[in-house]
């Protein structure tokens, strides 16, 4: 049985069942008339409450028909109201919820990547609340172009001529390849046949873009001559992919952008570079690892550069295409652009974030991701020591809690070999030996099932919360305020 609570099927079931053995179930109307149920109607609305009452009675009826113990034995006003309140609250819970990311990976794809700065959040709220000049030129009173809201900023920040924005960087790569190299060859080094998580593989995306992959070089070494020898009448472009989520070490060689840019220019073909992470400013000044910047890539002769909005850039999910005016104009005319275009919320958030980049000195305090990434380990350790007594108290008897140094990952495939010194709260089950694994899993689950779920990770026999991303006083209050729910033994 499918568990339908449709009244007709209930009636049929009632008629078909033997009438003697069943306990009497209350009618739906009687339950709806109870004062405490009426109070739920005021809170949740009539239709959800009616549906919940039908489910309650229907489930009880089904369980008795199947000879099982009835789920709802107590039909008193209070018992019914409390069962309904639990069901209604669960159904009213949004699916997409805030969590506290203490996994130690700052740009965590499964947890939504970059947290946005207030400026971006306000811009999104404004854009979505009513009409806006998304594709309307306010000065001329004529139709405008949605890309214009970020074009000036990206030209200033990257030195490019033209800009277009799509849904994510995977879409940007697909769109650029399809526009510039459909039914032609795209030359890619064997050392850059990258797979990024979530089934995005360069060879596959090229096939989908209608572009033939022309591999050159070897896994560890590719030379300029390999590219030069592959160029012919069928060549559509040279594609360079930033190997953001792994490092090739040892006896290696790859061709730098400047040399490739010169070769592409000489041969009259575009050099496209997929940068992936898209740092827009040199992050080494804040003690972070260096990443290639679109402005350098353009200066080195790339004609089209693509990167993500929600990785190191610290903005919304977006794919940003910057480059040469003529090529970007062709990309914008591709019908696929219409299918992949960014919406007004994305563009509002992206514009607000890009504005922050105009004043790099204030970035660490204003751009959330940079603030998190550049947070000193000593400050995180201090926070861990401050939280230790409350967490240890909440888990008293269940776990031994300590503060340990650890290393955070930047995440989203960025800079995998680099990690940032940090500090964590580590919880080890109080009893070792048999059942220890289960106890550890129970601690992990208890944090995950808190009202504001706390996501950490289990490694080397401990549940670990890297506190790098517990960043504001409000976060700290939210975190400690719900620790009581752990102690109540969920
Ligand atoms: C992350 C990444 C992509 C995909 O970007 P999304 O914005 O996640 O779609 C493509 N190429 C490279 C090199 C990347 O690192």
Q: Domain extents for the chain? A: 6-92, 100-108+372-488, 118-366
> Given the CA of residue 197, which atom of ligand 1 is nearest to it?
1
Say yes or no: CB of residue 276 within 6 Å of ligand 1. Answer: yes
Q: At residue 32, does pLDDT exceed 70?
A: yes
pLDDT of residue 458: 97
Query: What would the pLDDT profile of 422-474 be if each residue is shown by its tens digit?
Result: 999 999 999 888 889 999 999 999 999 999 999 999 999 999 999 999 998 99
| Cα(276) to centroid(ligand 1), Å | 4
Q: What is the arithmetic mean of pLDDT over 390-396? A: 96
> Given the CA of residue 198, which atom of ligand 1 is nearest to it?
8
| Cα(321) to centroid(ligand 1), Å | 12
Which letter, b or e, does each residue of 288-313 get, where b requires 16 or more Cβ atoms within 10 Å of its Cβ?
beebbbbbbbbebbbbbbbbbbbbbb
User: Residue 430 is encoded by which pair of tokens?
Assistant: 């109080």
Say yes or no: CB of residue 196 within 6 Å of ligand 1. Answer: yes
Say yes or no: CB of residue 242 within 6 Å of ligand 1. Answer: yes
- The radius of gyration of the chain from alpha carbons, rounded to an integer in Å, stands at 29
Q: State which of 110, 239, 309, 413 you would mutate to test the pocket of ligand 1, scoring each by most atoms of that ligand within 8 A of its C-beta.
A: 413
Residue 267 to residue 271: CA distance in whole angstroms: 10
User: Residue 151 is encoded by which pair of tokens?
Assistant: 């074009």
Q: At residue 332, does pLDDT exceed 90?
A: yes
Say yes or no: CB of residue 136 within 6 Å of ligand 1. Answer: no
Which segments of 126-184 are extended strands (E)?
Answer: 136-137, 142-143, 162-166
State the DSSP code for 290. P
Q: How confident is the model at residue 66 (pLDDT cuts 50, 70, 90)?
A: confident
Residue 398 to residue 441: CA distance in whole angstroms: 12
Cα end-to-end distance, the chain, whole Å: 32
Q: How many CB atoms lie within 10 A of CB 374?
A: 17
Residue 284 to residue 303: CA distance in whole angstroms: 26
Q: At residue 19, does pLDDT exceed 70?
A: no
| Cα(372) to centroid(ligand 1), Å | 21
Q: What is the arithmetic mean of pLDDT over 229-249? A: 88
Residue 192 to residue 216: CA distance in whole angstroms: 10
Q: What is the arithmetic mean of pLDDT over 166-173? A: 96
Dihedral sign, CA of 434, 437, 438, 442?
Answer: positive
pLDDT of residue 21: 53
Q: At residue 13, does pLDDT exceed 60?
A: no
pLDDT of residue 6: 46
Q: Whose CA is nearest to atom 8 of ligand 1?
A: 169
Say yes or no: CB of residue 166 within 6 Å of ligand 1. Answer: no
Q: Which residues pair with 411 in a beta bridge?
A: 107, 414
Using a 10 angstrom Cβ sphere, with 0-12 exposed, 13-18 middle and 19 or more buried, the burial of residue 476 is middle
| Cα(133) to centroid(ligand 1), Å | 29
Pairing of β 136-137 and β 195-196 = unpaired
Q: How confident is the model at residue 186 (pLDDT cuts 50, 70, 90)?
A: very high
Say yes or no: CB of residue 306 within 6 Å of ligand 1. Answer: no
Nearest to 40 by CA among 30, 49, 53: 49
Q: With residue 406 as reference, give the H or E element that holds it.
A: strand 399-411
pLDDT of residue 384: 98
Nearest to 458 by CA among 427, 416, 421: 427
Q: At residue 67, does pLDDT exceed 80?
A: no
Nearest to 309 by CA among 267, 265, 367: 367
Say yes or no: CB of residue 319 within 6 Å of ligand 1. Answer: yes
Q: At residue 7, does pLDDT exceed 60?
A: no
pLDDT of residue 14: 47
> Given the CA of residue 310, which atom of ligand 1 is nearest to it?
7
| Fold that domain 100-108+372-488 belongs to in CATH | 3.90.1150
**At a CB cut-off of 8 Å and minimum separation 6, what does 366 contact?**
117, 119, 356
Say yes or no: CB of residue 169 within 6 Å of ligand 1. Answer: yes
Which segments of 205-347 are extended strands (E)?
Answer: 212-216, 235-241, 271-276, 304-308, 319-323
State the DSSP code for 480. H
Q: At residue 137, does pLDDT exceed 50?
A: yes
Q: How confident is the model at residue 394 (pLDDT cuts 50, 70, 90)?
A: very high
> Given the CA of residue 413, which atom of ligand 1 is nearest to it?
15
Angle at 215 between CA 213 and CA 220, to 5 degrees: 145
| Cα(311) to centroid(ligand 1), Å | 9
Say yes or no: CB of residue 315 within 6 Å of ligand 1. Answer: no
Say yes or no: CB of residue 346 within 6 Å of ligand 1. Answer: no
Nearest to 457 by CA among 412, 369, 448: 448
> Given the CA of residue 319, which atom of ligand 1 is nearest to it?
7
Nearest to 465 by CA among 403, 416, 419: 403
Residue labelled with tokens 């006896």: 251
Of the given ranges (175-189, 281-295, 413-427, 455-469), which has the lowest mean pLDDT?
A: 413-427
Q: Whose CA is nearest to atom 6 of ligand 1?
A: 169
pLDDT of residue 424: 98
Nearest to 465 by CA among 406, 424, 432, 421: 424
Q: At residue 232, does pLDDT exceed 90?
A: yes
pTM of the model: 0.90
Write down how long the chain is: 490
> Given the CA of residue 318, which atom of ligand 1 is nearest to it?
7
Q: State which of 307, 308, 410, 414 you would mutate to test the pocket of ligand 1, scoring each by most atoms of that ligand within 8 A of its C-beta.
A: 308
Q: How confident is the model at residue 248 (pLDDT cuts 50, 70, 90)?
A: confident
Q: Whose CA is nearest to atom 5 of ligand 1?
A: 169
Using a 10 angstrom Cβ sphere, with 0-12 exposed, 13-18 middle and 19 or more buried, the burial of residue 195 is middle
Of the given ranges (38-47, 114-123, 198-207, 446-455), which has the lowest mean pLDDT?
A: 198-207
pLDDT of residue 490: 43
Of the given ranges (37-51, 142-156, 238-252), which has the lowest mean pLDDT?
A: 238-252
Q: What is the arithmetic mean of pLDDT over 323-331? A: 98
- CA distances to 21, 34, 79, 276, 279 from 27, rounded to whole Å, are 18, 11, 15, 60, 63
pLDDT of residue 17: 47
Nearest to 469 by CA among 403, 412, 402, 423: 423
Q: At residue 2, does pLDDT exceed 50?
A: no
Specify the CATH class of 118-366 in words.
alpha beta
Q: Please report, rounded to a whole number, the percentage of residues in the chain having pLDDT higher than 70.
A: 91
Say yes or no: CB of residue 114 within 6 Å of ligand 1. Answer: no
Say yes or no: CB of residue 316 within 6 Å of ligand 1. Answer: no
231 and 184 in contact (C-beta within 8 Å)? Answer: no
pLDDT of residue 278: 82
Of the given ranges (48-52, 58-62, 227-231, 397-401), which has the lowest mean pLDDT?
A: 58-62
Pairing of β 271-276 and β 235-241 = parallel
Q: Whose CA is nearest to atom 14 of ligand 1?
A: 276
Q: What is the arithmetic mean of pLDDT over 130-149? A: 97
Of the given ranges (20-29, 115-124, 235-244), which has the lowest mean pLDDT?
A: 20-29
**At a CB cut-off of 8 Å and minimum separation 6, what does 80 contact?**
31, 34, 36, 37, 56, 72, 74
> Given the CA of residue 243, which atom of ligand 1 is nearest to it?
13
| Cα(182) to centroid(ligand 1), Å | 21
Q: Whose CA is nearest to atom 15 of ligand 1?
A: 276
Q: At residue 144, does pLDDT exceed 70?
A: yes
pLDDT of residue 199: 75
């Amino acid at each position: 049985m499918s568990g339908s609570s449709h009244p007709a099927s209930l009636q049929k079931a009632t008629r078909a069942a033997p009438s003697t053995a069943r306990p009497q179930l209350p009618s739906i109307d009687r339950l709806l008339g109870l004062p405490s149920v009426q109070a739920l109607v005021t809170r949740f609305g009539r239709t959800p409450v009616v549906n919940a009452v039908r489910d309650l009675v229907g489930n009880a009826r089904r369980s008795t028909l199947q000879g099982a113990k009835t789920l709802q034995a107590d039909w008193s006003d209070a018992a019914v109201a409390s069962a309904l309140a639990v069901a209604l609250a669960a159904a009213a819970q949004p699916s997409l919820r805030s969590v506290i990311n203490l996994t130690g990976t700052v740009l965590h794809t499964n947890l939504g990547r970059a947290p946005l700065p207030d400026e971006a959040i306000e811009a999104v709220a404004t854009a979505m609340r009513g009409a806006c000049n998304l594709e309307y030129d306010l000065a001329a009173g004529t139709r405008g172009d949605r890309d214009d809201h970020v074009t000036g900023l990206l030209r200033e920040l990257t030195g490019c001529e033209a800009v277009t924005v799509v849904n994510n960087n995977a879409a940007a790569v697909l769109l650029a390849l399809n526009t510039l190299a459909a039914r032609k060859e795209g030359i890619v080094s064997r050392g850059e046949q990258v797979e990024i998580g979530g089934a995005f593989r360069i060879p596959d995306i090229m096939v989908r873009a209608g572009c033939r992959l022309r591999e050159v070089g070897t896994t560890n070494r590719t030379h300029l001559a390999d590219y030069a020898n592959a160029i012919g009448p069928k060549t559509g472009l040279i594609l360079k992919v930033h190997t953001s989520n792994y490092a090739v070490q040892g006896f290696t060689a790859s061709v730098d952008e400047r040399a490739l840019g010169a070769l592409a220019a000489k041969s009259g073909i575009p050099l496209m570079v997929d940068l992936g992470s898209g740092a827009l400013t040199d992050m080494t000044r804040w003690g972070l690892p260096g990443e290639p910047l679109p402005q350098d890539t353009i200066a080195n002769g790339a004609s089209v550069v693509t990167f993500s909005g929600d990785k190191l850039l610290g903005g919304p999910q977006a794919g940003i295409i910057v480059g040469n005016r003529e090529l970007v104009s062709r990309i914008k005319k591709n019908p696929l652009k219409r299918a992949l275009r960014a919406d007004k919320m994305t563009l509002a958030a992206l514009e607000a974030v890009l504005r922050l980049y105009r004043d790099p000195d204030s970035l660490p305090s204003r751009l959330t991701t940079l603030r998190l990434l550049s947070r000193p380990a000593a400050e995180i350790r201090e926070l861990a020591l401050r939280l230790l007594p409350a967490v240890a108290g909440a888990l008293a008897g269940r776990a031994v809690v300590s503060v340990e140094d650890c290393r955070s990952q930047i995440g989203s495939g960025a800079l995998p070999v680099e990690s940032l010194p940090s500090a964590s709260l580590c919880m080890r089950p109080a009893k070792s030996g048999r059942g220890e694994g289960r106890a550890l899993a129970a601690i992990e689950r208890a944090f995950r099932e808190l009202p504001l779920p706390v996501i950490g990770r289990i490694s080397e026999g401990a549940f670990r919360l890297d506190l790098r991303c517990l960043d504001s006083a409000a976060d700290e209050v939210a975190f400690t305020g719900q620790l009581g729910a752990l102690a109540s033994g969920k």
